Structure 1
């Protein structure tokens, strides 16, 4: 079983109200403090996690009620600090765990991104991943001087070209180009460094990259798009994907279908690992854990959930009846990737009200694994065995309240079962993902 910790450089690091305002954090919790993140990543490395991944966003939304108030009041979808410097800070205190930053193909120039990823891969000695997003919020476009975004599929068309350009930049230095021969005063062999003269429909670049090849050559590629177009993109490019599914049956169905898609794209199915989102809620006993889950749901601010959903579907939900289902017309108008995220709230023939969906969104948004350490470990192991692979992206809060119980109480039980590693076999992040 592969394991990722999925959070963000943000006060709502667990993607819900259990971030800055949760019972495991409390008043005065300083999420900006670098030592907090360093302590956290050291603990995750000690537990032999494959990687930690940092999500990101580039705007304070204003969809709900047509203003930013709710987003700022609840720290919902804002603020986010830049994940890239944080990755470098975490790399300095670790030596094995992978480190992933989220960067948008819509707003980050390809040359700068290729250079940044190469630099971070050097600083981490080969442990960097890039979580590829195409962005969907109109506020992000406005921040960068655009009036609107390209449509969903066209953003992926451009992202395909973006990936091709980055790949050429990363390959612009051939193996053995760096010689550092003091006897001839030669740093690099000019015959092995070439311009790429890339010309596409969206991008042009002369090249070469003005950074030397990094330990991995290029970052591990992660992607979370679950629309049909997003899955096609992931099947071609990604080495890991993140997916939200509620039940074992839904996980198994997605696993089999996506692996077939990877095979159809000409790659081995094991070349891309699937991480299913999970939200463990751990206490000393099953009863205590359930009480915590119930309290989290009961105290979740519905307005924060409505704000989050409004951003997801780019529609102001403040005027809709909370005790009626979300109108099907709104589901249809949501962009494809977001529509697939909404579908998980309708499992097993359920028709939840808008209030129920909003409450779930800021409490138990991902597949919950609630219980004492033994129960959580057992459910994780049994779920992965039934699905067939590959692992979980733990979507929770920060150190120490959420990380510590998992790494100190659940991980040893999973190691005893032989379902997670006890030691790293390699030094590169790509090694970890291909280890099993």
Structure 2
């Protein structure tokens, strides 16, 4: 039986809502997915600025938070309605929402700290907040909506991220070859999929590799006084020369050496981090193009360092997806650093590189309705598989 599902996703780049309308059939690892329509619906400039301000730690009132939550839900609902134009109405929506805060698990049993209200306990569990309430999306669209995918894995003791590796395994595994599926959004994350043979599921690994486009986009905005928001095709960076001494210095950052499971976000690789990078670069008197080339090299080098340090073996193929897969200079640098493994895009494996993440949340919603777990404990660090997402009926 085929089900038509909408997947909605906005990542750490906060450049808009990716919507994918897909036909899904099958149950677990026998899935078949066909993309019917995919589109990106940009946030209004005002809404994007409000989201980025909150992501950067700007204090807001509860009323402002509620209004932002509503505005994001409305934008997601409109994206779901628009993607269905000229198509049969979907029966299910999977909405990731917009992450505005992510804190990985602290480890151990928690810590007692002193605050203005006295002593309080900081639990070892992680915390992740996605705005854009599923209940509102269900109400506005009249379609059953699954949202809040991360909370069940976090409640079980996992990172709640990355959540797409199980979907990657179902749709992109190969019977003979080990593959890495590298998403490059604001933050980069990898799924390592061994050859689809005995006990292959237990050997799947995944984690956030570090900055994807986040520092690059922030640097372009800084260098152009917000006239531009990203380096199209990586052309500006390609005209510069990376400073490898700086890249080596930046790779000493603790996160890159932390073993998986691990996850991160703009809380680490955001404005403050970029400001420190710019300060570090002053010593080398880098031009704007050189700075962008160096930040691009950091993204590429951190991905490769991650593979060489934490994978059981280097992949035979690497497939890119997300906005960074369109950065030709970044792709070129990855190809040089990962040779002889070919660096391709998931388009070449039959899955849209632009909308793979949105497709993944359509699949996770589909699995939730079937009662199929969506996480991989070997990836998130949770002790067991759990059902992901909260179901909201219209």
TM-score by length of 2: 0.31
User: Rg bigger for which structure?
Assistant: 1
Superposition TM-score, scaled by structure 1 size: 0.29
Q: Comparing both structures, which one devotes a greater share of its residues to strand?
A: 2
